[in-house]
Chain A
Amino acid sequence: MASFASLRNISIGQYHPGDTVFHLLDARVKLSAFILALVVIVIASSYSANILLLVLFLAAMYAARLSPRETLASLGPALPLIAMFALLQLLFYGQGPAESRIVLDWGPVIISTAGIQLVVVSVMRLFSLLFATALLTNTTTVSALTQGMEQLLSPLSRIGLPGHELAMVGAIALRFLPILGEQMAVISQAQMLRGVDEESGGRWRIVQNARRLATLIVPLFVDAYRRSGEMTEAMLTRCYRGGRGRTHLYEPKLSSRDLTSSLVCLAFSGIVIWIAYSPLP
C-alpha cells in the first residue's frame, strides 16, 4: 500500500488492550516513570548507558506484549528526514571535545569520533524515546491517562495552574495522533481515486513526497479544526465542565504493585545514570 495511505496503521498513541503488569499499573506511576525515563534518556550520552537503556526498554516491551517492530514502524514516514539530519550531524559536527579523534578531515567536512558517537547515540535515544512513549500510551487508556495527569498536576492548582485543563489538552493531543493519521490516509485515498498517482513514489523520493504532502496538509488542517469544533459541541451537549465538576467511572487507588514498580524504575534509572557517568565508553 502507498506510503501516506499506510499512515492509518500508526501504532504510537493507540491503546492496545491487555492484562500485563504494565496495563494494570496506575497511570500516575506510569506517567512519573515516563518523565523519569525522559530525564534519564537526556542525561545518558555514552554508548554503554544507551545500550543498557535499549535493553531495558526492549525487556519492558516484551513484558507488556508490545511489538518493538510495530512501534518503530510508526517512524517510517519520518525516516528520510531523520537520515538527512544524521548525515548533516555526522559531516559538519566538527571535532567536538579535545579528547575526540578525527577520522576524516576533508575541507569543511570533519568526521570525528565525537560526531559518530553523537549520531549513533541520538538514534539510540530516539528508539528509547519511542519505546517509552509506546509503553505509556499503548498500555493506558486515554481516560486513565487524563486522570493520572490531572492528579499529578493537582498540587499546582493551588498556585493557579489549571491542572485538569492541561491534562485534558495533553490527552486529546495524544488521542488525535491516530485520528489525524487515519484522516490523512483517507484524504490521500480520495485524491488517489481522482487520479493522483502515488504508487510510483517511494519513501525516498523526497521532493515528490514533499510536494504531495503539501496537498494533503491543508485539507488535513481544515478537517482537524472542524473536528475540534465538533468535539467541543459534543462535550458541551453532555454537560462537560472541567476541574471539580468532572467525575470518573473508576477511582484509581495505588497498590503495592505500583509501589514495587516505582522502586524498580528508580533503581534502574540510578544504574543507567551511574553507568553514564562511569569511565565506560
Chain B
Amino acid sequence: MSQSAIQVSNLQHIYMPGTPEAFQALYDASLTVAQGSITALAGESGAGKSTLALYLCGLLRPTKVGQVRIFDRDMAQSSPGRDVGLVFQYPQQQLFERYVGDDIAYGPRKMGLADTTLTERVGWAMEMVGLDFEAFVDRETFSLSGGEMRRAALAGVLAMQPHILVLDEATTGLDPAGQSLIHRVMRELRDNLGTTVLLISNDMDEIAELADAVVLLHQGRTIAEGAPREVLAEETRLNACSLVRPTPMRILAEAGRAGFTVSQSALSLDEAEEELWQALHR
C-alpha cells in the first residue's frame, strides 16, 4: 500500500491553446494514488476530472507545466502502455467493433494473445462483469442496453489486465444491481489482483463505501486529498464543489441537530446505526 502507483503534480491543461476556443481545464492538479488502493477523484462537472484521466492513460502528454508519473516513470518521456486501463464516461464511445466478443478480444489480441488463451481471457473478463459468454459473445455492440454497454466496455479494458484501472463515472445512470456489480468488480480487482483503482465519481455514498482515499478537484485545482473520513466530513468544502456529504454522515448530523451527542464520521449505514444506538443508550 505504501508505494505510489500514480503521482501527478501541478498539472495544467489548456484545450485548443491559441485559438478563440481556448479553454483551460486544469490549473494546478495534483494527486497521489497508493498502489493497490481504490482512490476516488471527486469534483463538480467541469472540474477537470476527465481531462486528468486522459493524462493518466497517456492520451495526453504533460508538456510544459506539471508532471505525471506512473509507477515512477515520467509520462513526458514514456507511454503508460498497458499499465493503465481507462473506462470512458460514455461507454458507447469505447465500443468500436461490431460484436461484443470481438470488441473485448481487441485489446488482448493486440497484446499477442491467441486461440484458447484469448478465448479464456475474454471469458474471464465477461464473467467478471457478469455478462454470460454464450449469450453475449455474438451480440452486436449497438444492440446492447446502456447498462450492458457499460459492462462490455469494462470487460474490454479488464481483458487487458491493466495494473491501474481508471473508471470515469462508470456507475452513473446504472440501476442499483449494476452499480453493486461494478463495486464488486473493483473490490475483487484490488483484493485478488492487487490492481490500483482510480474511481472518478460524484456519488458520495459510493465513495464512502469503497474508497481508501479521496481527492477533491475544484475548477482545475486539487483542493483536498486524504482519508475519506476526513475529506468527506468537510461540509463547506464539499458544498463549494457542488457536492454533499455521504448519507450516513448527514443522518448523524441531523441526529446531532436533534440534540444527540454523536460523532459524525460514519462512512457506512451500519456505522451510523451503531453510533445512533450508542447515543440512544447513553
Interface residues of A (CB under 8 A from B): 1, 5, 9, 11, 14, 16-18, 65, 67, 70, 183, 186-187, 189-196, 199, 215, 218-219, 222-223, 226
Contact = CB atoms under 8 A, between A and B. Distances in A.
| Chief secondary structure at chain B's binding surface | loop
B48 interface: no
Contacts of B93: 183, 186-187, 190
Interface string B25-41: 00000000000000000
Interface stretch (B80-88, B128-136, B242-250): B80-88
Interface of B: 16, 19-21, 54, 57, 59-61, 79, 82, 85-86, 88, 92-98, 106-107, 110-111, 142, 156-157, 160
Contacts of A226: 92, 142
B160 A195 contact: yes
| Chief secondary structure at chain A's binding surface | helix
Given A14-B21, A18-B20, A186-B93, A193 B59 contact: yes
A189 B54 CA distance: 10
A1 B58 CA distance: 10
Given A190-B93, A195-B82, A195-B107, 10 more contacts: A16-B20, A70-B19, A183-B93, A186-B93, A191-B96, A193-B59, A194-B106, A194-B156, A194-B157, A194-B160
The 4 closest A-B pairs by CB, nearest first: A195-B110, A194-B107, A219-B96, A16-B20
Contact of B110 (A5, A11, A196, A219): A196
Contacts, number: 55
A219 B103 CA distance: 12
Contacts of A17: 20
Nearest to A67: B19
B19 A11 contact: yes
Contact of B142 (A5, A191, A215, A222): A222
Nearest to B96: A219
A194 B92 CA distance: 15
Contacts of A194: 106-107, 110, 156-157, 160
A193 B85 contact: yes
A108 B79 CA distance: 49
Most buried by B among A187, A189, A190, A193: A193
A199 B54 CA distance: 16
A225 to B, nearest CB: 9
B88 A190 contact: yes
A85 B20 CA distance: 33
Given A9-B16, A186-B93, A194-B106, A16 B111 contact: no
Nearest to A222: B142
A16 B61 CA distance: 27
B262 to A, nearest CB: 46
A193 B16 contact: no
Contacts of A218: 98
A198 to B, nearest CB: 10
Nearest to B82: A195
A22 B211 CA distance: 53
Contacts of B79: 199
B114 to A, nearest CB: 14
Contacts of B57: 193
A190 to B, nearest CB: 5
B111 A195 contact: yes
Contacts of B110: 194-196
A80 B94 CA distance: 29
Contacts of B16: 9
